Chain A
Amino acid sequence: MKLKIPEEEIMGHGNLACQGCGATLAMRLALKALGSNTVIVLPACCWSVIDGPFPHSVVNVPLFHTAFAAGPSTASGVKAALEIQGKDTNVVAWAGDGGTYDIGLGTLSGAAERNDDMIYVCYDNEAYMNTGIQRSSSTPLKAWTTTTPVENPKESHKKDIISIMAAHRIPYLATASVAYPEDMIEKFKKAKDIRGMRFILVFSPCPTGWKYAPQLTVKLARLAVQSRVFPLIEIENGIKWKLNKEITHPSPVSEYLKPQGRFKHLSDEDIAEVEQSVEADWNRLLEKTKK
């Protein structure tokens, strides 16, 4: 019997994440695809804690902790240093959505424009979880966070980081989900064989920040794809957009929203507004993939 997913575990045991952490499952799956010839560069995020306290580390590859805004620029430097030593190692910048959509966006844009040789992974849990669930520009419309309380939930849309990165015309860009491990591993393997900037956005539900029961992590990640909230796509050179999973009969967006405490305050009108915004985003995406 052959396994579609590599059996070897590069992420070890004993991590410090909450029960049911989507970001931890994301790392476990990503490392299976990347293999041990990998260096991880980690700006401040939940993973800075999950990995363990010095002198311990849960991942069995070198992991370099760096400043919050400096994930991409540190990865550029690490890659250059490895190249000088004649080493062909996967350099992976692994950052949260705060580190990507907000504070690291400038250095990310720089590294992308230079087409520096790295795999940049953003595990997206849609808020600053490590410091206590503050909103980021990835937080979706109407969601509760500690800085967007229920009386005043988030008014703006989630930032379209995919289009921003596509505009840099980087060789490879993909979205992935912990609910679709085969698809995710295929994308990481593909990215590994491409040179230059590769960007992968991994949808990573967070029970602590989204206020849901920890057993629902994979189910919610799946519902996000099936309700068209989080489409699985690939983009080559910023121009060739491809939808990996057609969703012909979408599940209602409300099915995705309802189990999550961060959306508990939503009225029927609010839900309708979120649904409309999901539909509009989906139609815009279809136009790009049809070209």
Chain B
Amino acid sequence: MAKKSDKKIIFNKEKKMPPFAISFYSMEYNKTGGWRNFRPVIDYDKCSCCLICWKSCPEAAIKLKKTKVKGKEKFKPVIDYEYCKGCGICWEECPTEAIDIEEEAE
């Protein structure tokens, strides 16, 4: 598979294939964090690292960070505000109510 970082767009004449345009660029330029009206904030004192928020985020905007809690290795969810659209699913789903939602400042 061609890497998305390759900058050419292929119109394959050599193999006599029909013109075939390939998207090599990612969508990372599209910082969807700017769409957010509400900002989810995790209170790590209440977070049990169950990762339900991570599983439920449509944007893959929750990252996992390895940490140690009471000597045990765990993954901690960390919200990437560059891409979080503020849908509130993580807030709704969190079983320990560790996620609060705040109105975004203008």
Task: Find chain A residues with CB under 8 A from B32 CB.
Answer: 13-15
B75 and A5: CB pair below 8 A?
Answer: no
The answer for the CA separation of A1 and B72 in the assembled complex, in Å, is 8
A80 close to B (CB within 8 Å):
no
Interface residue range, chain B:
35 or more
B58 and A28: CB pair below 8 A?
Answer: yes
A52 close to B (CB within 8 Å):
yes
Q: Which of B73, B86, B93 has the most CB of A within 10 A?
A: B93
Task: Find chain B residues with CB under 8 A from A3 CB.
Answer: 51, 64, 75
How far apart are A85's CB and chain B's nearest CB, in angstroms? 12
Q: Total A-B residue pairs with C-beta atoms closer than 8 Å?
A: 116
A181 close to B (CB within 8 Å):
yes
A86 close to B (CB within 8 Å):
no
Task: Find chain A residues with CB under 8 A from B85 CB.
Answer: 19-20
What 1/0 mask marks residues of chain B from 51 to 72 whose CB sits below 8 Å from any chain A CB?
1000111111100100000001
Of all chain B residues, which has the CB nearest A37? B1
How far apart are B85's CB and chain A's nearest CB, in angstroms? 4
The answer for the CA separation of A57 and B26 in the assembled complex, in Å, is 5
A250 close to B (CB within 8 Å):
no
**Which of A55, A63, A217 contacts B25 (CB under 8 A)?**
A55
A22 close to B (CB within 8 Å):
yes
A213 and B88: CB pair below 8 A?
Answer: yes
B31 and A14: CB pair below 8 A?
Answer: yes
A218 and B27: CB pair below 8 A?
Answer: no
Task: Find chain B residues with CB under 8 A from A55 CB.
Answer: 9, 21-25
What 1/0 mask marks residues of chain A from 1 to 17 whose CB sits below 8 Å from any chain B CB?
10101010101111111
Task: Find chain B residues with CB under 8 A from A28 CB.
Answer: 57-58, 60
Answer whether A58 and B26 are a contact pair too, CB < 8 Å, given A3-B75, A14-B31, A214-B89. yes
Task: Find chain A residues with CB under 8 A from B22 CB.
Answer: 55, 62
B43 close to A (CB within 8 Å):
no
Task: Find chain B residues with CB under 8 A from A17 CB.
Answer: 58
A7 and B64: CB pair below 8 A?
Answer: yes
Of all chain A residues, which has the CB nearest B66? A1
Task: Find chain B residues with CB under 8 A from A1 CB.
Answer: 72-75
What 1/0 mask marks residues of chain A from 55 to 88 whose CB sits below 8 Å from any chain B CB?
1111011110000000000000000000000000
Q: Which of A36, A55, A178, A181 has the most CB of B within 10 A?
A: A55
The answer for the CA separation of A150 and B30 in the assembled complex, in Å, is 37
Answer whether A11 and B28 are a contact pair too, CB < 8 Å, given A5-B55, A218-B93. no
A21 close to B (CB within 8 Å):
yes
Answer whether A215 and B27 are a contact pair too, CB < 8 Å, given A14-B83, A19-B86, A62-B1. no
The answer for the CA separation of A37 and B105 in the assembled complex, in Å, is 42
B23 and A20: CB pair below 8 A?
Answer: no
B87 and A20: CB pair below 8 A?
Answer: yes
A219 close to B (CB within 8 Å):
yes
Task: Find chain A residues with CB under 8 A from B74 CB.
Answer: 1
User: Can you show 15 pairs from A to B with CB atoms below 8 A apart?
Assistant: A1-B73, A12-B28, A13-B27, A13-B28, A13-B59, A14-B27, A19-B85, A51-B27, A55-B9, A56-B25, A56-B26, A57-B26, A214-B89, A215-B91, A219-B92
Known: A5-B55, A13-B32, A13-B80. 20 other contacts (CB 8 A): A3-B51, A12-B28, A13-B27, A13-B28, A13-B60, A13-B83, A15-B27, A15-B59, A19-B35, A19-B85, A20-B87, A24-B58, A36-B1, A56-B26, A181-B55, A181-B56, A213-B88, A215-B92, A217-B87, A217-B89
What 5 pairs between A and B have smallest CB-CB spacing?
A215-B88, A14-B27, A14-B30, A20-B87, A25-B58
Q: Please report B residues at the A interface, Cβ cutoff 8 Å.
A: 1, 4, 9, 21-32, 35, 51, 55-61, 64, 72-75, 80, 82-83, 85-89, 91-93
